[in-house]
A and B are shown apart, each in its own frame.
Chain A
Amino acid sequence: MFLEQAINGITLGGIYAIVALGYTLVFGVLGIINMAHGEIFMFGAFVGMLLVSKAGVPLPVAFLGAIAAAASMGLLLDRFALRPLRKRPGASHLASLISTIGVSILLENAAHRIFGAGNHLFETPFSDIRFQAGSVTVYLVQAAILGISLLMMAGLSLWLSRTRAGKALRATAENLETAGLLGVDTNRMITATVVIASAMGGVAGVLVGMAFNFINNRIGLSMGLKGLAIIIFGGMGSVYGAMAGGLILGLSETFVVAYGPAGYRDAIAFVTIIVVLLVRPQGLFGQAVSDGKP
């Protein structure tokens, strides 16, 4: 029982981590919170659902479809909601927050118009296959989710630390102007970051569909809010913080549902944020800046 719950928690945590990575990448480079990330993720999930359940294509193709859809939405988001604000000098740091909130509301209600408010079944072809290891049952779906999320996290870490583009991205995150002076095309880097983060959102969307077997137009909001909680918990802009925070949140939610008041499951994330902000405002893996404020 305990082990099975732990596996459920890690599976959920892996998905949370991927969602949170989308936020943390954009925050690290642009210094803004992309409130529309949850909704881009939701559209990724819907595209995946349409491909798997309605068009009957194999799962990997569905992943590619979701990635393509989410990435192009990221491109549009950057083009129409973020870049115009970057060009204006002296724009308040709240402007981009408000602008992305606008995009998120727009997308959520567009999904409501297109797909309706009900749940959509997300059928995974191998949803019934499971393994028995002693008394513990592991579903193939869970193993696949865990594998994919680990692969993505490892890939992202390698890309950021080893490749030229990854280094350029880190330089841009470190200091936009200096990176620009050193010959990094920062505008392209910023667009690339938003697109990559959105593509990861698309993958996360399909993973959520696989994990819960259904999706609706509200998962963007609920998963998005958790992603926000995780990046505050793990430290804004910290890649490893997002991974660790996602796993911790997934595990604690699963155990609260199993052994505690299940109704408060969705509140855990926020109680955590409030406590973290009070005790350690820079987050688990974040670095404190000079004046003590995050």
Chain B
Amino acid sequence: MKQLLYSKRLAPYLFILPFLVTLAVFWIVPLGRSFVMSTQEVLYGQATFIGLDNYERLWRDRIFWQALYNSLRYTVLTLVLLIPIPLVLAALINSNIGSTRIKTFFKASMFVPALTSVVVAGIVFRLIFAESDVAIMNQVADFLGFGPVRWLRGDATGLVALLAIALWRWTGVNTMYFLAGMQAIPTEYYEAASIDGASKVRQFIHITIPNIRPTIVYVVTISVYGGLSMFLESFMLYAGNNSPNNQGLTVVGYLYRKGIEENDLGFASAVGVVLLAVIMAINISYLVASGTFKKEAA
């Protein structure tokens, strides 16, 4: 026992042991079973091997493609909104003009939404996008000269509500990421550019953006994961996993419906495997692109 506690060779393995156990019991074994189940028909605990039938069923499943389309569409649109807007906001805070008081207040207020649970966010946004003509979004619509709109009944307007939740919750966090990156850029770069007569906009494009490229790559990557695995926002907004014509159904929502609600574990596992394959492909290409493998190996 004493030797064990003092051994420098054994110690690291004992230190990382909790992670290894977690990895084995709660990741590798379940994911392995998921692969196996995806080739089975699982009914009342009875599993029958059916080869790739689940994947074939998936290929021909119209609702799966719709869910995939919804997830991809949401992912692309969140990227389009949640990268440029926070970038500009971070640049504004990082600039040497303006009141620090306002900036401090801004940072705190933008961060607050990230503290709310998806449950509370969903409840509030259901009420903001309610159908009555006095609900906040319909008041805004009225002010802009249209509406009232039955937001959650239509595909495009329902998507607006989902994107509003994403924007509300993550703009502040992404701004903080970018701000942290920008504060690490040496001020000399900007001073030199000013002497050369470069405008603020040119400085932003030619100094700021290239210097925080690693942060941008990181935020894009986590946004892709977040977008592809989006489920709860829709689940809360539509008060359940069912939305008109499945307009709010995502891949994870479909996995939840098949696996948890309908207990079709084999088929749901196939959905999960396809999604995992997509995510891992992105994951590994990110780690390779960002040079993590090289850095860790060195």
- Are chains A and B native binding partners rather than an unrelated pairing? no
